[in-house]
Amino acid sequence: MGFCIKIAIIMHKESMFQTKKYKIAAAFFIMLALCAQTVPILAAPSQRTIQASRDVVSNPTNETVNKYVKMMLKEYKKERRAGNFEEAADYLRSALYFLKQMPGEKGKYDDTLEKLNKLIEEQGLDNSQFARLELAKTLYLEGKYFAAGYEFANLLQEEYETDLCFEYLGDIARKLNQEDASFLFYKKAVEVNPDNLNAKYKYANALLKRGESSDAIYYFEEVIEGTNSEGIINEIINIFMVRANNNPDDENNYGILGLAYQKLGQYDKTYQLLKKSLMINPNDIFLQYYLGNLLFDVQEYSFADEIYSEILEDNPYESQIRISRAKAYLAMKEYEKAIKDYQIVLAMYPDSLQAQYGLYCVLKDRLPLDKIVNLFYPIEPDFKLTYEGYDNLGYFANKLGNSIDAVVFFEKSLSLNSKSETSYIELYKLYQLLGQNDKAKTILQKAYKIFPKNEEIIELYSALNSDKVDEKNNLALSYLNEGEYKKAITVYNQIEPKTAETYEAIGNCYRQLGDFKSAVTYYNKALGINPDNTETYYALGVTYLEANNMQKAKQAFETSLQKDSRNIKSKKMLAFIEQKEVIKSIDLAYDFYEKKDFRSALKYLNKAVETFPNDPKVYYYRGLTKESLGDIKGAANDFRETIKIDRNYYVAYYKLAESLEKIGKQREALFMYEKFLGAENIDQNLMKKAEQKVLDLGAKYY
């Protein structure tokens, strides 16, 4: 049973123990309502808040939007009075999300924005773009989708980390069951930054759901080739295992599975899958190509050469396959054959950076750079590469992580054009990355003399003349802002001695890369130096949460609060985890209830009540279970406890009234039916039943 549906079970208008007639869309709306505005140190949101959230998603009219905004502003006042300032700010963001889209409400928007800015200023909160991006991510993780959407939309408007903003807006749309919107957001994220593999993976998934399989396959292949995330690879395996079971004659499913297992180094599985795929379609050159790549990976270069050569006999213009064969030749030290293949590719595609750089790699230890470049196009013996061409090679090599080769190309570019600001900046960063600090200083001093008005050079030069640690930190931060986390890690590792902040920064980089194990290692190193840093514990908790290790996440957040009881972020995350644990307990009980094993269901709910004595849901569902066992008095007590904890849990009034009526307490039952009818209820069927009960019982007592 999916997480969204599990949430729906908890707050559904009727007991899921009584009916299984629910819709997936409703589950999304209820998940939104439950998670969107949960106050961690107070009771769960009222059903009015839940209904307002649900209405504004399912039916965004002026009436529902205005009602929701009014409710958020009311909640803001309540939380501000209670001293929950961050929570109050989140309610303002949720209201602003809608007010920003309402031209006729500019005055209210400006007033609400002023309240938010005042709150941020009063609390001394970091309002930089980087801090707001991290805040937006946290809001999303907490399930506060409107508040998160407001921040992501603002950052997008400011053109800050646009691909990430599009990606998260896609995630939010998907959570709200708005599949068309999520598809468009993911598409924009990939268009803005084709190297954003997380967005590309989500886009591929969206394409698959829309039935655009061929395009989806293309993007899945790119994701598998580029990602280092085992989590994503395993998710792709799960998706295509299901597809292969449902459609065993589609060779594409086996091809993707083969690539995924190959990425994990499970070559035996890859071979079997590719063989099965080729049995279905023996003429598919790309499946043959994948088989050649598999042989290359297991260092069977001569066999890989045979596969590539067979394909090229009938498809001589397939440049990618020819480049792969050239790599096999290079591995076998058959240099002339490798050179010939790269030259053929360049004859067909003169701007192929893969072929240019490949040829350089074959010859760099044997010939000077100029002579290598002359061999790019042998029919043009006087060919010279422009400084832009060397820049392009520098960027290409740097992207592959080959910093030393990138330096060679940018140095050559500068020798041809000493007025290239970009080349100076790239060389400075590369020298720093390689730990060549003297060269970095020299190149930047020269750049500053030539370009004294270039803002980036001025900023770098100012850092150069400050503390060395500041210089490294600034450079690492620039890589962080560009999303180049591996390079940021390299620079941070050059800083000595390392402070707790340095270790935490490295941990943050690994977390962004999805390498949660390394992130945990560095957060713990930071805590080894500064064991009282509540924010480091919070970051550690979020990392465990993203790695789906709820137990350790909970421990980290609890420790964070032990260090500083005012850390509202850790409080909120603990509340989020507790909700998931409550859901898990209720789900276990539901499984037994569905099998009519009511005593086992009661056993789990009794344990849930012991663990979560202040959660109204566990009492409510225990009441339903006792009712099924015939313990009407016990059920009435649990429904009463539900209301005691949360007086806005209106369905419990109805169930309590039913129970009281059965045990002969009809006057009190009448009062509870009236209380139920006093709510803005969503269940018309129950309301009609309650109205009739009030009429029937009222005739006796009024």
Q: Residue 29: is its pLDDT beyond 50?
A: no
What does the pLDDT look like over 413-450, one tens digit per residue? 999 998 888 899 999 989 988 888 889 889 988 998 89
Domain total for the chain? 1
- Start-to-end Cα distance in the chain: 48
Tokens 């886009």 belong to which residue? 203
Q: What is the pLDDT of residue 651?
A: 86
Q: What is the pLDDT of residue 44?
A: 41
Q: Is residue 687 part of a domain?
A: yes
Tokens 């029937």 belong to which residue? 696
Please report which confidence band the pLDDT of residue 522 belongs to, taking 50, 70 and 90 as the band edges.
very high
Q: Residue 139: is its pLDDT beyond 70?
A: yes
Q: Specify the higher pLDDT residue, 323 or 648.
A: 323
What does the pLDDT look like over 524-561, one tens digit per residue? 999 999 999 999 999 999 898 888 788 898 899 999 98
> What pTM was estimated for this model as a whole?
0.62
Please report which confidence band the pLDDT of residue 42 belongs to, taking 50, 70 and 90 as the band edges.
very low
Q: Which of 342-356, 536-550, 580-594, 648-662 is least confident?
A: 580-594
Alpha carbon distance 161, 307 (integer Å): 42
Alpha carbon distance 157, 135 (integer Å): 17
Please report which confidence band the pLDDT of residue 50 belongs to, taking 50, 70 and 90 as the band edges.
low
Q: Residue 465: is its pLDDT beyond 80?
A: no
CATH number of the domain that residue 684 is part of:
1.25.40.10
Q: Which of 3-12, 263-272, 292-301, 640-649 is least confident?
A: 3-12
Q: What is the pLDDT of residue 466?
A: 61
Alpha carbon distance 590, 586 (integer Å): 6
Q: Which residue blocks in 417-547 are alpha helix, DSSP H? A: 421-433, 437-450, 455-464, 468-481, 485-492, 500-512, 516-529, 534-546
Contacts of 417 (CB under 8 A, 6+ apart): 387, 423
Q: Is residue 262 part of a domain?
A: no
What does the pLDDT look like over 203-218, one tens digit per residue? 999 999 999 999 999 9
Alpha carbon distance 466, 578 (integer Å): 47
Q: What is the pLDDT of residue 117?
A: 92
Note the maximum CA span of the chain.
Answer: 109
Q: What is the pLDDT of residue 24?
A: 27
Nearest one of 684, 696, 618 to 657, comparing CA atoms: 696
Q: Is residue 380 part of a domain?
A: no
Q: Is residue 474 part of a domain?
A: no
Range of 657's domain? 589-701
Alpha carbon distance 93, 287 (integer Å): 50
Q: Is residue 389 part of a domain?
A: no
Q: Is residue 646 part of a domain?
A: yes
Please report which confidence band the pLDDT of residue 337 belongs to, taking 50, 70 and 90 as the band edges.
very high
Please report which confidence band the pLDDT of residue 40 belongs to, taking 50, 70 and 90 as the band edges.
very low
Alpha carbon distance 515, 348 (integer Å): 40
Q: What is the mean pLDDT of the chain?
A: 84
Q: Residue 45: is its pLDDT beyond 60?
A: no
Q: Is residue 633 part of a domain?
A: yes
Alpha carbon distance 89, 118 (integer Å): 10
Please, is 169 exposed, middle or buried when counting C-beta atoms within 10 Å of its C-beta (0-12, 13-18, 19+)? buried
Q: Is residue 107 part of a domain?
A: no
